[in-house]
Amino acid sequence: MTTIQALLPEAHRCLAAAGVEGPIRDARLLLEAATGIPIAAQIGHPDREVAPEAVEHFRALVARRAAREPVAQILGRREFWSLDFRVTNATLDPRPDSETLVQAVLDRVPDRNAPLLLLDFGTGTGCLLLALLHELPNATGIGLDISWPALEVALENARDLGLEHRTTFRLRVWERPGSETFDIIVANPPYIPSGEIADLQPEVSQYEPRLALDGGPDGLDAYRILLPVTARRLRGGGFAAFEVGIGQADSVAALGTAQGLVHVATVADLGGVPRVVIWEKEQRLQRIGQAVGRFWRRVKKAVGKRVRTD
């Protein structure tokens, strides 16, 4: 019988030679998947024997990882916001960077028990929308995607998390989200410049859907489509939060401002990278009041000039 302490070094060498980051971490995750032995038990009992069929299964998983297939796709699962999400090659792998967006949204919600309506552009696994609904017990949400396989994953995740009664997923292009207006709009759109995708790690460039990565020549095409729609569909007093790529925050903020949205914050991720851009939509009456105020100031100024001239 083969033991854990014999299997892991073998897997470590294989993954390291393939250029995998964190090879021992990934080896332990794959061993847990193949054998059911938790990582803590692997560490505590390295002399534990592994059945031959489990050894064969483990080595097959290691071979897939050595080919740079992402761990999340091999396991079919990924933890995000301390929740368990199904992942396939039809969806992006939920990343810790995107948790920055979830926290940034929650930080701006004054009453988490309010009956809010959320919209998630390009929902993928549904991780952003479902994580937010998990924290906002009376909110409901709509997730849009143009990929039916991705929506199937999102639907399954909603059911697994007990949130299916508060979510609706639609096969729609972004320009036609529906007739509703929303309190909160979120998005993690494609933002990788087209010419840079081939240079990404193989886990991304070879295994994740290009449709969810390709942001056009400068990486900003999706924002140019989404922000006019967001300005129309966001309720007065509501806000939008979009994830952005490295170096894109100022450009994306300006695109939103050009649509009449008010840029209120840019939030950095744990690595210090500006990761989330947030805009608010002013209340209509507030805008009218401001316009009236500007009008009367101009009138008073004009009258004052006439009086002084006379």
pLDDT for 150? 94
Count, residues in the chain? 310
Whether 166 and 36 share a structural domain: no
Cβ proximity of 174 and 229 under 8 Å: yes
Judge whether 14 lies within some domain: yes
| pTM for the full predicted model | 0.84
From first CA to last CA, the distance across the chain in angstroms is 106
Is residue 89 helix, strand or coil? Answer: coil
DSSP 226: H
- Helix H, strand E, coil C: the string for 172-184 is CCCCCCCCCCEEE
Is residue 69 helix, strand or coil? Answer: coil
Judge whether 141 lies within some domain: yes
Where residue 10 sits, what CATH number does that domain have?
1.10.8.10
Judge whether 245 lies within some domain: yes
C-alpha to C-alpha distances, 132 to 72, 109, 186, nearest whole angstrom: 21, 11, 10
Order of strands across the sheet with 167-171?
Answer: 167-171, 140-145, 117-121, 182-187, 234-243, 274-280, 262-268
Judge whether 89 lies within some domain: no
DSSP strands (E only) in the chain: 2-3, 49-50, 77-80, 83-86, 117-121, 140-145, 167-171, 182-187, 234-243, 262-268, 274-280
Amino acid identity for residue 12 in this structure: H
Judge whether 290 lies within some domain: no
Whether 109 and 246 share a structural domain: yes
Whether 36 and 153 share a structural domain: no
Whether 63 and 164 share a structural domain: no
pLDDT for 307? 45
Whether 53 and 163 share a structural domain: no
Whether 159 and 60 share a structural domain: no
pLDDT for 309? 41
Q: Note down the domain range covering 217.
A: 97-283
pLDDT for 262? 96
Residues 250, 128, 114, 117, Cα dihedral to 10°: 80
- Measure the CA–CA gap between 55 and 310, rounded to whole angstroms: 99
Cβ proximity of 252 and 244 under 8 Å: yes
Whether 56 and 102 share a structural domain: no
Q: Please state the φ and ψ torsions of residue 86, each to the nearest 5 degrees.
A: -75, 140
Whether 109 and 33 share a structural domain: no
Cβ proximity of 243 and 97 under 8 Å: yes
Listed residue (252, 255, 248, 249) closest to 228, CA to CA? 255
Domain count, the chain: 2
**pLDDT block averages, 10 residues each, the chain of length 310:** 88 94 94 93 90 93 95 93 94 92 96 96 96 97 94 96 96 80 96 93 92 93 95 94 96 96 95 96 58 60 52
Judge whether 304 lies within some domain: no
Where residue 201 sits, what CATH number does that domain have?
3.40.50.150
- Measure the CA–CA gap between 224 and 233, rounded to whole angstroms: 15
Whether 50 and 170 share a structural domain: no
Cβ proximity of 145 and 123 under 8 Å: yes
Judge whether 306 lies within some domain: no
Whether 43 and 139 share a structural domain: no
Taking only Cα atoms into account, the Rg of the chain, rounded to an integer number of angstroms, comes to 24
Whether 20 and 124 share a structural domain: no
Is residue 237 helix, strand or coil? Answer: strand
Whether 116 and 219 share a structural domain: yes
Judge whether 74 lies within some domain: no
CA 122 to chain centre: 9
Q: Is 94 left (phi over 0), alpha (psi -120 to 50) or beta?
A: beta
